[in-house]
Structures are given as structure tokens and as C-alpha cells.
Structure 1
């Protein structure tokens, strides 16, 4: 999954913030609060996002309706995985990140890791 540019990120945010698929016109209207964009600009960005796999589209009359291909959190996690894979030493990066975490972040991560995944054996206290 390729990363996103600034305008692509704002278009994705507009889609993630909506509970229903959005037409180009609806996304353009949402983004107009920040910046006046041409219809064709928004259409091109949505088409590019579709090509990159970030959005899925379906016919809505004569127009297309777009929705995110995955939840915001899933997309963010995939972007982190892609970034780590590109760095050459993902373990070193993760260790550096973990050392810089504050207490609240560290505790949250510890609790998340302690939750068992489907098919995993429950973790015993004191075991890594």
C-alpha cells in the first residue's frame, strides 16, 4: 500500500469521517471548508486512490460513490508495517520507539499485547 500525499490524506479523512459512500461532489463539498478545489481535482485524487487500493467505488446512477477500502486504524497499521519493512532494521526502530514511549503509551501497548489473538494460547504472567 503506497503512502498518501497531503490532498490524498484529506480526501481519505473525509471518507473515513462519513458513514456512507461519498460521490466526488460530496467529497468536494466537505473539503471546500478547508480549500476550494475543482471537481476534476477531487475526481482525479479519488481515481488515484482507487488505483492505489485505498478506496473502492461503485456506480451511483451516472456517478461513482467511494468508500475507504479499510478502516482508518487498519490503514494506519499497514502504513507502519510498510515503513518498518523499508527501513532495514525494523527491530531496532521498534526498540527505539518503545524506549521513547511515555508511561501511558507503554501501559496501553503492554495491555494490547497481553490480549490473546484467536488461535494463540493465553499468555501467562511473567512470560514474554
Structure 2
């Protein structure tokens, strides 16, 4: 029996494993909701207690987010304090923009993207484009 889409891929071997970018989004959400800069330990503590994340994992993700320009950091004593530059939706939008920019045939990519949207999302996109045209 061949694997289906739902049981193949890098995350299939470990169902508790997060999808790529999911932890980044969760950390951005924690920082956005906090409304102030947090240390990696504070971020880890505010994530779901069942997340069972190590301090070094949180530091690694925060460092990556800083390199992407999604968070800013300031050193206070021995620890960095991190604050979100944009929310989780902004992070996803940045990722989509980078992926699109890397493709030589942007028209085909956009056509397939729009063709894959459900009716509700397509209507939202059309409304947003109409609003920007006005």
C-alpha cells in the first residue's frame, strides 16, 4: 500500500512534530500578545506548557526570526529581550512574497495559487484587490 499525502512527508514520522514555520508563528504570536520584549525563557514559559521545548530551541527560533527581520532584540544584562516587528500573518505574508520572488514565472505561480483557493478565500482576495484599486 502506497502512502497517502497525509502520512508522507518530513513530519509524518513524528506526529507530535510541528510543521515548518509553525513554531515561528507561535513564538511571534506570544511576542505580539505580550506587548513587550521577552527573554527566550519567558517566551518558552508562555508557550503551551505541553510544548516541552528546550531553552536552546526557543533561542534558535528567535535567532532565525531576528535574521529574517521578524523580531528585534536588545541585550539587557546577559540576556536578549525580543519583540515582534510584525504579527504571525505578516510573517506568513513575507514568506509567500519571498517564495514568489524566487520564481521566474510569477504569472503561472499566481494563476495556480488563485486556482487553488476556495470560493471564500477567492472572494476575499478579489475584495482586497478592488479596495487597493480604488
Name the structure 1 match of 2:69: 53
Alignment partner of 1:21: what SS?
A: coil
TM-score where L is the length of structure 1: 0.69
The aligned length equals 115
Distance, in Å, in 2 between the alignment partners of 1:73 and 1:6 is: 12
Name the structure 2 match of 1:15: 31
Cα RMSD between the aligned structures? Answer: 2.5
Query: Which of the residues 74, 89, 101 maps onto 1:85?
Result: 101
1:20-31 equivalent positions in 2, closer than 5 A: 20-31=36-47
Q: Using the TM superposition, give the Cα deviation of residue 51 of structure 1 relative to its aligned residue in structure 2, in angstroms.
A: 2.8
Distance, in Å, in 2 between the alignment partners of 1:40 and 1:105 is: 37
Q: Using the TM superposition, give the Cα deviation of residue 61 of structure 1 relative to its aligned residue in structure 2, in angstroms.
A: 5.2
Q: Using the TM superposition, give the Cα deviation of residue 20 of structure 1 relative to its aligned residue in structure 2, in angstroms.
A: 2.3
TM-score where L is the length of structure 2: 0.67
Distance, in Å, in 2 between the alignment partners of 1:45 and 1:99 is: 33
Listed as ranges, the gaps of 5+ residues in structure 2 are 1-19
Residues 1:12 and 1:103: Cα distance change in structure 2 (over 3 Å):
same
Residues 1:47 and 1:93: Cα distance change in structure 2 (over 3 Å):
closer
8 A contact 2:25–2:91 mirrored in 1? no
